[in-house]
Amino acid sequence: MESGEHQDDCKQVFALLSQYLDAELSPASCEEIQAHLADCPPCIEFLESLKRTIRLCHHCESAEAPPLAPEAREQLLAAYRKTLLGRA
Ligand SMILES: [Zn+2]
């Protein structure tokens, strides 16, 4: 089943994205995510909301603030899990 395999891809990207949130993503992993995002609307949507949230955080916090508050990070990860489950 190709759709099942694709979902596995999403989970891998999900793991990489959590590193992305921690700003620990290597350029190679970043390329992997980009490649997956080219053909996966749910992941694109997730990344868009992720970027929005990070921008909001930067807007509210000082320049020295960490990339993303732990609570916001948890919320995003939970939302992403829901997205993946919704596709199953
Ligand atoms: Zn995906």
Distance from the alpha carbon of residue 13 to the mean position of ligand 1, in angstroms:
7
In the chain, what percentage of residues exceed pLDDT 70? 68
57 versus 41: which is more confidently predicted?
41
Distance from the alpha carbon of residue 6 to the mean position of ligand 1, in angstroms:
7
* Mean pLDDT of all residues in 57-83: 67
Q: Is the pLDDT of residue 36 over 80?
A: yes
Residue 46 burial by Cβ neighbours in a 10 Å radius (0-12, 13-18, 19+): buried
Distance from the alpha carbon of residue 9 to the mean position of ligand 1, in angstroms:
6
18 versus 67: which is more confidently predicted?
18
Q: How does the average pLDDT of the chain come out, rounded?
A: 72
Read off the pTM. 0.49
Give the model's pLDDT for residue 31. 83
